[in-house]
Chain A
């Protein structure tokens, strides 16, 4: 039996790396006596598959992992037991049995980041200014990998944005591509947006939140559960 688990990662655990997070979840499941399946061989490991990694320092409302169990359990018992044992600020949001289909890493191609840009732009002008400047801005970022560097155009990788103008802050939800077909890092958004949209300031990375992970199907963004 395989369960797809959705959980949030809050402020108090936002500095955990992907591996730290996986270890913390496994230990919580061990404490909760979850009967997970082990890999065969010399060094048996719990059969767990994590979703796309979250950059260190930012919080998330919806992260995913798939857990293989060696026996059937009721979703309610599983959720109750795990909720009791999760560390502070890792919160269980949804548990769904999955039958078959692609892994989380293969399936998910879109992440949505919520970014509050500090700004002096008047609230009523924010939307127009953003849309206009965004349309003609240059969204090239430089990526360094060891000694080589290359330029990547983020424009085709930014799939959609939603704006919420507020006093002194423009909140932007950006749906961006992740995974093999092109990956946008939130740090890059923090860097490029204030360059393109004059009047926006760069917020700290710790203020960014990942709102969701999706797969794109016929123009809409679907969650994996």
Chain B
């Protein structure tokens, strides 16, 4: 067991940007005595500190695991290239932030997979930890490599590298994994024994247990790995304290998870499927959580986190009571994900009495027709009314999110994005005192596994480029202070391939990492030509992979993973999309998606949720 040489580390830290990414020692960390704790896990977010530290899932797991006496959990993030150079040139392996131990000295390393473009970082982290990338090259002297999170619902592109995937919500299954691990460690079997034992548990996929068939897919029948979920969210573990970082991180505030899941059923949205059913925490519990989190961190802002925070059934009661308690202490409350309706606006007005930050709305598509296709059932009139009241209530900056490349999209839909932006801006100029600022954000539609659009082709990149420059031209020609952001179509192309790819992508990812590819979610490090070159070297054409429509009856690489939502439901939603049929929120009328079969203690609907 080695500890990193601290004086060597300090000399590196002097040279790198933002050294507090690597120093640890933040308030509320848990440090345990390495030698006297039995089971050690490194929790890894495969991106930079300020991104990883903002992730709620790992915060929950960190504190849950450390609440167990015989488990030690520490954090590891991807070092920025300047620090990577220091590590490689100085011969220092990657280390954990708490005790500065080598990553490879942990029993288990657990990665969270939040976006596809972080896959090369995952491999780079293994490499920096001096751990072989492929599972078959690791014996039991290496840590068990585990991965979970939304991307684990299509695990295949990473399956040769990972010992086991957790499908579903981690806090439900992680202690069970440790129980198995503990017994195995005491009894002293081989790595295969451990994996076999773990593979029998619900929600765990161990790739090495299954033969690979001719089509490069594991020999597993449909829906054989079922997701795990927390039934009783109100009773589930939630940290009483968060680590307080020194440097600015992306979400630098208390995150109060008020609900999980979303019943709206937007057809492009993967989280909307994976986190079903909708579950809520009680206002009483949330009030108590808010109190302990604010007083243990010293944060001056709390965000009511969920996929759609204004859909929380008692949002008014909750926000009023939080305001009454915390606004005298100058604590701001933010609603990060809101619908564009008048209820949300008046709520935001009330909630944001202390601080009025910008408002963000996501109409996603420019025309009513296309919004019906994607099931974003918001009427243009409502939208304008909400915008109008937002501006007259004092907001000065507004962000609008749109997507291009959606199924059935035509020129008129793109044209409508610019028209809507112009109208919103005019409303702002009319209603708001002083100037207004409007930001339009354009993302490229990426079809994701387990959604009603999982069969939809991704647009050829020239076509996406053409549509993007069209919308850019239109918006730039508008008069007024309208800023425009957009996503790089090349990045979306890679994301789309990884999102629905299979095992054939693994050697490609490995080669890209070997050739220095990393931080592909960061435009300054993303190079499409590198990906194209490596795909060609493996005899594959990038676009050919994904610009074809997949037949509805065809096999999909993630068929063996069950999200709880049935294939029939997804197919039905896809058909309804093409017919522009809107499907109502499932909390109004059950749509029979199938996830209720996963519940034993509670029902899907009604006041318990």
Contacts and interface: CB of A to CB of B under 8 A. Distances in A.
B19 A26 contact: no
A138 interface: no
Interface stretch (B295-303, B445-453, B507-515): B295-303
Nearest to A31: B298
Nearest to A13: B25
Contact of A20 (B246, B296, B355): B246
Interface stretch (B6-14, B85-93, B200-208): B6-14
A176 B138 CA distance: 57
B298 A29 contact: yes
Nearest to A20: B246
B25 A205 contact: no
* Residue from the set B19, B27, B354 with the largest chain A CB neighbour count within 10 Å: B27
A32 B412 CA distance: 58
Interface of A: 12-13, 15-17, 20, 23-24, 26-31, 33, 38, 42-44, 56-57, 85, 87-89, 204-206
Interface residues of B, number: 25
Contacts of A87: 25-27, 244
A206 B297 contact: no
Nearest to A58: B14
B19 A27 contact: no
A26 B11 contact: no
A206 B246 contact: no
Given A20-B20, A57-B13, A206-B10, A30 B246 contact: no
A43 B25 contact: no
A26 B298 contact: yes
Interface in B295-314: 295-300
A27 B299 contact: yes
A172 B295 CA distance: 44
A23 B246 contact: yes
Nearest to B354: A44
Contacts of B596: none
Contact of B298 (A12, A56, A85): A85
B487 interface: no
Given A15-B19, A56-B19, A206 B11 contact: yes
Contact of A38 (B7, B246, B297, B330): B330
Contacts of B27: 24, 27-28, 87
A15 B26 CA distance: 12
Contacts of A38: 330
Contacts of A20: 20, 246-247
Contacts of A56: 19
B392 interface: no
B23 interface: yes
Top-5 shortest CB links A-B = A27-B298, A30-B298, A31-B298, A15-B19, A12-B25
Contacts of B297: 27, 31
A46 to B, nearest CB: 8
Nearest to B10: A206
Given A30-B300, A31-B298, A43-B355, A89 B10 contact: no
Find the residue from A26, A31, A42 having the highest chain B CB count within 10 A: A31
Contacts of B25: 12-13, 87-89
A206 B19 CA distance: 13
Interface centre among A30, A33, A38, A42 (most CB of B within 10 A): A30
Contacts of B355: 43
Given A12-B25, A16-B20, A20-B246, A31 B14 contact: no
Contacts of B298: 26-31, 85
Which of B14, B20, B246 lies at the interface centre, i.e. has the most chain A CB atoms within 10 A of its CB? B246
A17 B17 CA distance: 11
B11 A204 contact: yes
A12 B148 CA distance: 32
7 contacts: A13-B246, A15-B23, A26-B298, A28-B298, A30-B299, A38-B330, A204-B11
Contacts of B244: 24, 27, 87
Contacts of B26: 87
Nearest to A32: B298
Contacts of B356: 42
Interface in B373-412: none
